[in-house]
């Protein structure tokens, strides 16, 4: 059962979202929305104890090393943030990525890939694949790298792995998907069934973000909606999803499709949890437990 803390936390999120709607936040342009999210994150987000953020450039792309102490320098998590391919940054997701890295005892490479609508599909995939190739050039093998991401970042992790597979490049050791957005056609029943439950996302907002990212391409393109791709040959996948999120169907379909393609899948459905609840960090026991289980999965997979 969901914890006492999560019940009140979810109520608080719903009230906060209602206030932002009344203030017209969603009517602001994309740049203004990004600035508001970054400002809010800078007041709230803190790195876990004994973790350090080190900025760098990867072929002109801003990125950060998030390094927990202690950690294994010969392994790396390539983390791709969520935000509907149009929002968010290192500022909004740095603490979450760093906590996952600390739980696994592995440094995290966090790139700020290009965002829609200025840079629609396939810009984000190109950036993710280029960062992965950059790691290979630094001497990491494919089995030293794990791809991870939340929401759109989960879909992006899968799309990047599909590109690597199809181009016969070394595949990562595994993929971790938090509340993955992998069906931009919104075909699952949870988009309607859970709309009143999900404190963050709405069907309308998700549809608008999908069209913004896809540009002129069809929403069922296998690299835009990886749930429609041939998933055979991919490395093991861990999926975490909540029963209160409108993307619940995406996670369920991904787990089923991957299993039928012969992929090893660890699927966790968390009762009463909402979209990317793991970002709540140390506040919620469910977030702490989810991050611990991610760390254990990554350690087993990368034999650390």
Tell which phi-psi region holds residue 24, choosing left (phi > 0), alpha (psi between -120 and 50) or beta. left
Taking the domain 4-302, which CATH number applies?
3.40.50.1820
Confidence bin at 46 (pLDDT 50/70/90): confident
Q: What's the predicted TM-score (pTM) here?
A: 0.95
Comparison of pLDDT for 45 and 84, the residue scoring more: 84
Which of 27-36, 61-70, 73-82, 182-191 has the weakest average pLDDT? 27-36
**Sign, Cα dihedral of 79, 72, 62, 27:** positive
What pLDDT is stored for residue 21 in this prediction? 62
Q: How many CA atoms lie within 13 Å of 31's alpha carbon, on the beta-carbon side?
A: 1
Task: Quickly list DSSP for 116-137.
Answer: TTTS-TTHHHHHHHHHHHHHHH
* Alpha-carbon gap, residue 4 to 207, rounded angstroms: 32
| Among 156, 162, 160, 149, CA closest to 184 | 156
**Sign, Cα dihedral of 146, 159, 151, 110:** positive
Confidence bin at 44 (pLDDT 50/70/90): low
Instruction: Write down the domain spans for the chain.
Output: 4-302
Q: Which residues are catalytic?
A: 151, 245, 275
What pLDDT is stored for residue 71 in this prediction? 85
Comparison of pLDDT for 12 and 147, the residue scoring more: 147
* Alpha-carbon gap, residue 24 to 46, rounded angstroms: 28
**Tokens 């929305």 -> residue:** 33
Task: Tell me if 146 sits within 8 A of 76, measured CB to CB.
Answer: yes
């Amino acid at each position: 059962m969901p914890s006492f803390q999560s019940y009140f936390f979810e109520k608080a999120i719903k009230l906060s979202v209602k206030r932002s709607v009344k203030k017209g936040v969603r009517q602001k342009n994309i740049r203004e929305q990004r600035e508001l999210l970054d400002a809010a994150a800078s007041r709230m987000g803190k790195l876990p104890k004994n973790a350090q953020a080190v900025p760098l450039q990867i072929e002109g792309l801003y990125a950060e090393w998030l390094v927990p102490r202690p950690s294994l320098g010969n392994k790396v998590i390539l983390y791709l943030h969520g935000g509907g391919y149009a929002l968010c940054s290192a500022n909004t997701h740095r603490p979450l990525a760093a906590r996952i890295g600390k739980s696994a005892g592995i440094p995290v490479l966090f790139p700020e890939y290009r965002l829609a609508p200025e840079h629609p599909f396939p810009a984000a995939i190109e950036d993710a694949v280029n960062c992965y190739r950059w790691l290979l050039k630094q001497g990491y093998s494919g089995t030293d790298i794990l791809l991870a991401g939340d929401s759109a970042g989960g879909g992006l992790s899968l799309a990047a792995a599909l590109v690597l597979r199809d181009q016969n490049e070394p595949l990562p050791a595994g993929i971790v998907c938090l509340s993955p957005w992998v069906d931009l056609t919104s075909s699952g029943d949870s988009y309607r069934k859970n709309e009143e439950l999900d404190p963050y996302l709405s069907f309308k907002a998700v549809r608008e973000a999908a069209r913004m990212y896809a540009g002129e391409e069809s929403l069922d393109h296998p690299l835009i909606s990886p749930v429609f791709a041939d998933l055979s040959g991919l490395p093991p996948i861990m999926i975490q999803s909540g029963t209160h999120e409108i993307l619940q169907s995406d996670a369920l379909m991904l787990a089923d499709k991957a299993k039928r393609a012969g992929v090893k899948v660890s699927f966790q459905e968390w009762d009463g949890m909402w979209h990317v609840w793991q970002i709540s960090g140390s506040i919620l026991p469910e977030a702490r437990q989810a991050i611990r289980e991610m760390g254990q999965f990554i350690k087993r997979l990368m034999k650390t």
